Amino acid sequence: MNETKYMNPYLAGLFLGLILLVTIFITGRGLGASGAVKSAVVATVQTVTPTHTAETKFYKEYQEEHPGNPLKSWLVFEIIGVVIGAFISGLISNRLKFKLERSPKSTTKIRIAGALAGGLLFGFGAQIGRGCTSGAALSGMAVLSAGGLITMMAIFGGAYAFAYFFRKLWI
């Protein structure tokens, strides 16, 4: 069976905006993603070397701000939801398939290295910038946070500025 067409982007944007609005109305906070990765990192390090987390500044500060199990966080539950929601969407649109996607001009090796390096940069940058495209840029725009909008412009501005140097990866 063929894949179903994607949703009209403006319609998808309308739905996404309404989801964000309802989220803010109910919970007083916006959406996010990178925070869940942070919870996973803290939980992993805690399990592997509990003494290290007790001595290291970052984990101590994290524990002060988020007492209890790091995985019992709003964003972790939200991200579990994202996995379920995306899976359902992929299922009904016939897009479920294990696949390493890459540009025909690129190689699998390069794509793997790029994904790993890009993820590393994004994860690191999201920590410096206190949130990623969802948590800082999109949710920040909804509540007109100055920092959120600055981060948003920096993400997209940065991506355009660096795009030329990495064009071989994609086109």
Per CB under 8 A, contacts with other proteins among 69-128 are: 72, 74-75, 77-90, 93, 95-103, 111-112, 114-128
Give how far Cα 36 sits from Cα of 55, 70, 92, 119, 163, Å. Answer: 22, 9, 26, 14, 27
- Min dist. Cβ of residue 135 to other proteins (A): 4
Match 């690129």 to its residue by tokens: 106
Q: In the complex with other proteins, which residue's Cβ is closer, 18 or 54?
A: 18
Site size toward other proteins, by CB under 8 A: 125
With beta carbons less than 8 A apart as the criterion, state whether 137 and 32 touch. Answer: no
Q: 19 φ, ψ to 5°?
A: -60, -45
Alpha helices in 7-92 (DSSP H): 9-27, 34-48, 50-55, 57-65, 74-92
Q: Does 32 bind other proteins (CB under 8 A)?
A: yes
Instruction: Rule CB under 8 A: choose which of 2, 43, 45, 64 binds other proteins.
Output: 45
- Min dist. Cβ of residue 2 to other proteins (A): 15
Q: In the complex with other proteins, which residue's Cβ is closer, 10 or 47?
A: 10
Q: Does 24 bind other proteins (CB under 8 A)?
A: yes
Taking the C-alpha atoms of residue 85 and residue 114, their distance in angstroms, rounded to an integer, is 26
- Min dist. Cβ of residue 113 to other proteins (A): 9
Q: In the complex with other proteins, which residue's Cβ is closer, 19 or 54?
A: 19
Name residues contacting other proteins, limited to 150-169 (CB under 8 A).
150-163, 166-167, 169
Q: Does 51 bind other proteins (CB under 8 A)?
A: no
Q: Does 54 bind other proteins (CB under 8 A)?
A: no
* Run of H or E including 163: helix 146-163
Q: Residues 85, 151, 155, 100: what is their CA dihedral angle, to the nearest 10 degrees?
A: -30
Q: Does 140 bind other proteins (CB under 8 A)?
A: yes
